């Protein structure tokens, strides 16, 4: 089950965090993985790990905010069976503390970047009459989170785009879903704690971990497992859905 043999998968943001975990797992399951990342060194590191285990992977330096750059990369790849939109950034602040530059920066990466990749992938998948798309949303798309105004805005847009693409391309053999993780232990979290709470890293890590009812953050590999299922043939009856993976945050955090 959950084999991806002969599948060509594109994973944006595959140089770190959830994207990296997805790329590694997809390759393990037999897919040819194309890592798209702005960080050349990080992307190459992911590809190197895959190749060390005899997997097939390629790195493409790509700025997802630039439509021309995205189209060029997808044209180079040629055909795409699976797209995982994992590239994304965050921002801490409410509407008063979110500057216009911060708002624009998050929009360009988290919304326009997803749009650009969706547009290129759909045009290919439509010709092939098959394809699977998985977008990374967030619990911020479902519940109100303190000081996550711009981030929540972008993830709500990702959810809406997921539904729209799923509906528009039902009869072209294209499935489109999204998942909504709670806090995941990625390099972003470590950097955030180090920057904002110097000297209190352990204390804040524990506090953030316990904000999940299950008592800890998710590991990237746990998120990748759900992504694999939704992109596999075993999930062929699923489209237009959002799946929370949140350690009980939405339903049990009261």
Catalytic positions:
151
Instruction: Look at the chain and count its residues.
Output: 254
DSSP H helical segments within the chain, as ranges?
17-28, 40-52, 67-77, 100-106, 113-128, 149-168, 187-196, 201-210, 220-231, 249-252
Judge whether 19 and 36 are in contact, CB under 8 Å: no
Task: Write the CA distances from 208 to 128, 170, 198, 250, integer angstroms.
Answer: 44, 39, 15, 15
CA distance 125 to 83: 10
Place of tokens 């530059």: 101
Sheet holding 32-37, edge to edge: 56-61, 32-37, 8-12, 82-85, 131-136, 174-181, 242-245
Angle at 123 between CA 103 and CA 109, to 5 degrees: 15
Task: Write the CA distances from 228 to 156, 166, 223, 233, integer angstroms.
Answer: 23, 18, 9, 10
């Amino acid at each position: 089950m959950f084999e991806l043999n002969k599948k060509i998968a594109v994973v944006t943001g595959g140089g770190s965090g959830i994207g990296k975990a997805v790329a590694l797992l997809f390759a393990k399951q037999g897919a040819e993985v194309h890592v798209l990342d702005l960080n050349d060194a990080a992307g190459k590191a992911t590809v190197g790990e895959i190749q060390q285990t005899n997997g097939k992977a390629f790195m493409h330096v790509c700025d997802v905010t630039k439509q021309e750059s995205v189209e060029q990369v997808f044209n180079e790849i040629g055909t795409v069976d699976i797209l995982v939109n994992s590239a994304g950034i965050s921002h801490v602040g409410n509407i008063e503390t979110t500057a216009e530059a911060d708002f624009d920066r998050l929009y360009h990466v988290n919304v326009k970047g997803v749009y650009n990749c969706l547009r290129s992938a759909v045009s290919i998948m439509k010709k092939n009459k098959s394809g699977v798309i998985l977008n990374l949303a967030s619990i911020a798309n479902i519940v109100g989170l303190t000081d996550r105004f711009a981030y929540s805005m972008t993830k709500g847009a990702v959810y809406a785009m997921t539904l729209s693409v799923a509906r528009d391309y039902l009869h072209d053999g294209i499935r489109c879903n999204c998942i909504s993780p709670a806090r995941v232990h990625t390099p972003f979290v470590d950097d955030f704690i180090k920057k904002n709470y110097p000297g209190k890293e352990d204390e804040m890590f524990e506090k953030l971990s316990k904000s999940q009812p299950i008592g800890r953050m998710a590991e990237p590999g746990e998120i990748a497992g759900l992504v694999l299922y939704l992109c596999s043939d075993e999930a062929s009856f699923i489209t237009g859905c959002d799946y929370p993976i949140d350690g009980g945050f939405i339903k049990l955090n009261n």
